[in-house]
Amino acid sequence: MKYESTRGSLGYKNAPQAIIRGIAEDKGLYVPQQIPHLTDSLEELGKLSYQEIAYKVIGAFFDDFTDEELKSCIDGAYDEKFEAEEIVPIVEAGGAHFLELYHGKTAAFKDMALSILPYLMTTSLKKEGVTDKICILTATSGDTGKAALEGFAGVEGTEIVVFYPYGAVSQVQERQMTSQEGENTHVFAIKGNFDNAQTGVKKIFSDDDFAAKLAERGIRLSSANSINIGRLVPQVAYYVYGYVKLLARGVVKAGEKVNIVVPTGNFGNILAAYLAAEMGIPVNKFICASNENKVLTDFINTGVYDIRREFFVTNSPSMDILISSNLERLLYLLSGRDGEAVKGWMNQLDAEKIYEVSDKVKEGMKCFAGGFCSEEETEKAVGDMYRQHGYLMDTHTAVAYKVYQDYAAATGDETPTLIASTASPYKFAESVSRAIGLAEAEDGFAAVRALNEKTGVYVQKGLKDLDQKPVLHTGVCEVGGQAQAVLDALK
Ligand SMILES: *Cc1c(COP(=O)(O)O)cnc(C)c1O
């Protein structure tokens, strides 16, 4: 299987090369030349473990890896680090099925991909005979940073540099990152929002002089954001897993479709659901849920992507994003792999902050529904679900659930529904505590304890006693200062 850029320049890569590079030379994103189909029946897959399904799905995309290589990546990634035996529990509550993706080390769904990416990366380096050191650059809205740090900490031949928006992540998220151990880890707060951080990182990737400077020192850049195909593909596995387990449980019959609801920021997670459907799981609607930063809701409804709007910092901060990078991959697929058109839209977005897609793409978008909800509605959804069904959701998952409820009420659609549950409620303990009516805690850490006392819901190891962990990273940088920060970090 070869990989091509969404911006149409030729020069195909194999999977290891695409994983090492992260982003294509023309700033496009790598996409496989075809979406592979599942070769086993969904009934057969329903009998398999998470690891076995991951092996089938990832192996179909990354066929350059040998069976042993892939098995060792998967076994290394999906082991006891996950504090749930089945890796991804599926819990029914309030008329939907929650695909709990947050039982990994950092308590967010980012662990699903970032616990395997370092293995895929080091295997790729070996296969390609690359001896340079790889520096992973990551912009984070809060959760990717910690998951990437955990994944790459201590991994030989790598350095990792993370930028998070100053004052715009939860206290738990911030301490998770700033307390990260490991000689090869570097963390900076950027005085800007996530889009500033991500744009800065993308700029560094396309700066040839900067690359030359690093090359002199035997260093190459790569990405742990969902722009890296090595991160996106492992995410496809859990949607396949979710569907076949619903089938095995008799929730759906053979061939019956499901809806998939995803709380969306950078469009990576929902794109993985789309790819899972292309592989062969039956899906009715992909429901894209946003918070007040509802660029995607508007885009799905109109075909116009317009970032000329106010940016809100919300109680679902990992979705506080206006430029959703992975949408580019969907546009590429829906336009019939028209790299020139995609390049045009992306250039327009850079220059004019707005673009409108073709009728062909609009037609293709019809399997998507978009919705958004406010911060108040988010907290109400958390509170109502807890009081009525005893199920505790984090704020991001609550956005998805509320948008799903609105969708179901508006359409009368009764299709069985999977909701991607993207974080532990403890990661956003202050908002979640308030939502279920607890008194305001002293800080985010006290809120974790109070929430646990009240609900008895399991707290993952990594979130316990976080306030006892010393702060090891205090770097702050200005918008535009990221390249210098990287150089300083790599000294
Ligand atoms: C990253 C994140 C999201 C958004 O996922 P995308 O793949 O960026 O769309 C949603 N919820 C949580 C908790 C996250 O960490």
Q: What percent of the chain has pLDDT over 70?
A: 100
Task: Evaluate whether residue 343 is within a structural domain.
Answer: yes
The pLDDT of residue 206 is: 86
Per the structure, the complete domain to which residue 410 belongs is given by 90-108+230-457
Task: For ligand 1, atom 15, name the residue with the nearest CA.
Answer: 143
Task: Evaluate whether residue 291 is within a structural domain.
Answer: yes
Domain count, the chain: 1
Task: Evaluate whether residue 70 is within a structural domain.
Answer: no
How many CB atoms within 10 Å of residue 311? 17
59-91 per-position pLDDT tens digit:
999 999 999 999 999 999 999 999 999 999 999
Which of 99, 109, 432, 463 best tests ligand 1's pocket when mutated (most atoms within 8 Å of CB)? 109
The pLDDT of residue 465 is: 85
Give the side-chain half-sphere CA count within 13 A for 18. 30
- Give me the mean pLDDT over the 206-224 stretch: 93
Cα of 269 to ligand 1 centre, how many Å? 7
Q: Is 265 in the pocket of ligand 1 (CB under 6 A)?
A: yes
417 touches 261 (CB < 8 A):
yes
463 touches 425 (CB < 8 A):
no
Q: Residue 9: pLDDT band by 50, 70, 90 thresholds?
A: confident
The pLDDT of residue 25 is: 87
- The radius of gyration of the chain's CA atoms, rounded to the nearest angstrom, is 21
Q: Is 397 in the pocket of ligand 1 (CB under 6 A)?
A: no
C-alpha closest to that of 159 among 181, 137, 135: 135
Euclidean distance between CA atoms 475 and 22, whole angstroms: 25
What are 310's two structure tokens? 């106010």
- Give me the mean pLDDT over the 207-227 stretch: 93
Euclidean distance between CA atoms 22 and 204, whole angstroms: 12
The pLDDT of residue 141 is: 87
Euclidean distance between CA atoms 188 and 161, whole angstroms: 8
The pLDDT of residue 491 is: 85
Task: Evaluate whether residue 472 is within a structural domain.
Answer: no
Euclidean distance between CA atoms 446 and 311, whole angstroms: 29
Q: Is 79 left (phi over 0), alpha (psi -120 to 50) or beta?
A: beta
Which of 98, 143, 327 best tests ligand 1's pocket when mutated (most atoms within 8 Å of CB)? 143
Cα of 10 to ligand 1 centre, how many Å? 31
Pairing of the two strands 133-139 and 158-165 = parallel
113-123 per-position pLDDT tens digit:
999 999 999 99
Has 56 been annotated as catalytic?
A: no
The pLDDT of residue 10 is: 75
The pLDDT of residue 182 is: 96
Task: For ligand 1, atom 14, name the residue with the nearest CA.
Answer: 318
Residue 464 has pLDDT above 90, yes or no: no
Burial of residue 33 (number of CB atoms within 10 Å: 0-12, 13-18, 19+): exposed
Q: Which are the contacts of 301, defined by CB distance < 8 A and separation ≥ 6?
A: 370
Q: Residue 439: pLDDT band by 50, 70, 90 thresholds?
A: very high
End-to-end Cα, the chain, rounded Å: 38
Task: Evaluate whether residue 29 is within a structural domain.
Answer: no
Q: Atom of ligand 1 at shortest distance to CA of 141?
A: 1
Cα of 212 to ligand 1 centre, how many Å? 33
Task: Evaluate whether residue 478 is within a structural domain.
Answer: no
Q: Residue 226: pLDDT band by 50, 70, 90 thresholds?
A: confident
Cα of 213 to ligand 1 centre, how many Å? 33
- Give me the mean pLDDT over the 18-45 stretch: 95
Task: Evaluate whether residue 407 is within a structural domain.
Answer: yes
Cα of 34 to ligand 1 centre, how many Å? 26
Q: Is 423 in the pocket of ligand 1 (CB under 6 A)?
A: yes
How many CB atoms within 10 Å of residue 155? 18
Task: Evaluate whether residue 286 is within a structural domain.
Answer: yes
Q: Atom of ligand 1 at shortest distance to CA of 226?
A: 7
Cα of 109 to ligand 1 centre, how many Å? 7
Euclidean distance between CA atoms 175 and 107, whole angstroms: 13
Residue 404 has pLDDT above 90, yes or no: yes
Residue 163 has pLDDT above 90, yes or no: yes
Euclidean distance between CA atoms 309 and 281, whole angstroms: 36
The string of DSSP codes covering 55-109 is: HHHHHHH-TTS-HHHHHHHHHHHSSTTSSSTTSS-EEEETTEEEEE---STTSBT
282-339 per-position pLDDT tens digit:
999 999 999 999 999 999 999 999 999 999 999 999 999 999 999 999 999 999 999 9
Q: Is 269 in the pocket of ligand 1 (CB under 6 A)?
A: yes
Query: In which residue are the tokens 């499901």 written?
Result: 258
- Give me the mean pLDDT over the 183-200 stretch: 95
The pLDDT of residue 388 is: 98
> Amino acid letter at 369?
A
The pLDDT of residue 441 is: 92
Cα of 189 to ligand 1 centre, how many Å? 19
Domain of 411, CATH number, reads: 3.40.50.1100
Q: Is 329 in the pocket of ligand 1 (CB under 6 A)?
A: no
From the candidates 56, 81, 105, 110, which is the catalytic residue? 110
The pLDDT of residue 481 is: 96
The pLDDT of residue 202 is: 87
User: How far from chain centre, in Å, is Cα 441?
Assistant: 29
Q: Is 138 in the pocket of ligand 1 (CB under 6 A)?
A: no
Pairing of the two strands 354-356 and 304-306 = antiparallel
Which of 264, 315, 322, 382 best tests ligand 1's pocket when mutated (most atoms within 8 Å of CB)? 264
Euclidean distance between CA atoms 351 and 219, whole angstroms: 31
Q: Is 225 in the pocket of ligand 1 (CB under 6 A)?
A: no
Q: Is 317 in the pocket of ligand 1 (CB under 6 A)?
A: no
Euclidean distance between CA atoms 324 and 141, whole angstroms: 12
Mean pLDDT (the chain) is 96
Q: Which are the contacts of 231, defined by CB distance < 8 A and separation ≥ 6?
A: 113, 114, 117, 224, 225, 268
